[in-house]
Structure 1
Amino acid sequence: MKLKTFINKSRMKPWDFFILFSLILASFAPLVLFSIQQASQPTVSYTAVLKVDGKELKSFPLSTNQKRYTYKYTDPDGDYNLIEIDHQQIRIKAASCLDQICVQRGWIRKPGETIVCLPHKLVIEIKASDGSETGSVIY
């Protein structure tokens, strides 16, 4: 069907096209506004904090460009925890404790998540730079 035939049959006036075009254009306004708002928000960085017996020993930055590496914590008694960091996640890969609950916990990546090794009094907690307890993580 040709445009002129459509206009004549539906009795659309020239201003009707202008209004229709304006409404279609206005429907994209929320997309533009939300993308501008999202770009203006500060980026949040995540850090995994290693505490032993309540004292902070080390912190590990968690970022998307972080390469995989391991850190070995050894206490004065010779007990150890092998901590693995990979991009935005951390886990205890191996430990000398008997129950191995900390190893079974697996990867953590969200603010507020923790890994606890009770025999070694070790805690790993993920914290956000803005202090939020929950957040979205980009994989």
Structure 2
Amino acid sequence: MLKIRKADWLLIAIVLLAVAGYFGGKALFERADAYAAGKLEARITVNGELYKQVPLTQEEQVIDMRTKYGHNVLKVYDNGIRMTVSDAPLPIALKMGFISKPGERIICVPNRVLVEIVSAGSEQPGSETDPLKDGLDAVVN
């Protein structure tokens, strides 16, 4: 049977403190004003093309999307958005739930729908200021 020595306990304590410090620091220093109400929008794209950009507000709004790829319904409320209806064979997008923070996404692959939370007034991909306008992200020799 293995015996735990004093140095082993010290190593375990250091690892636990490092993990607690990482998550505690992340929660402490995460900027709450980055998610301020009224400053976020949902960018909705269908097959890579912008379908609609909607401000995230407290007021309830329903977006009924009928495209050649399928039918989806999105609901905006409480400064966030969720997909409530999808006619995809496996409606996985419905299980992605309510999103309200920048960078969060809802993706419905069969219907080619992407819902992404962005800061209000942010440039959409492919714009003149986008460094990746040509679609390249790397060049390898």
- The reply to whether TM is greater than 0.5 is yes
Residue 75 of structure 1 aligns with which residue? 67
In our comparison, the structure showing a higher alpha carbon Rg is: 1
The separation in 2 between residues aligned to 1:89 and 1:43, in whole angstroms, is 9
Which of 78, 92, 98 aligns to 1:87? It is 78
The separation in 2 between residues aligned to 1:69 and 1:43, in whole angstroms, is 16
The separation in 1 between residues aligned to 2:37 and 2:66, in whole angstroms, is 34
- Cα deviation, residue 118, structure 1: 0.1
- Structure 1 runs, 4 residues or longer, greater than 6 Å off: none
CA contact (8 A) 1:44 1:128 kept: no
Q: Report the AA paired with residue 49 of structure 1.
A: R
Residue 57 of structure 1 aligns with which residue? 51
The alignment-based identity, stated in percent, is 25
- Are the structure 2 counterparts of residues 43 and 69 from structure 1 closer, same or farther at C-alpha, using a change threshold of 3 Å? closer
The separation in 2 between residues aligned to 1:90 and 1:43, in whole angstroms, is 13
Query: Is 1:115 aligned with 2:106?
Result: yes
2:101 match: secondary structure: coil
Cα RMSD after superposing both structures: 2.1
The separation in 1 between residues aligned to 2:60 and 2:37, in whole angstroms, is 22
Residue 97 of structure 1 aligns with which residue? 88
Gap regions ≥5 residues in structure 2:
1-35, 123-141
The separation in 2 between residues aligned to 1:86 and 1:130, in whole angstroms, is 20
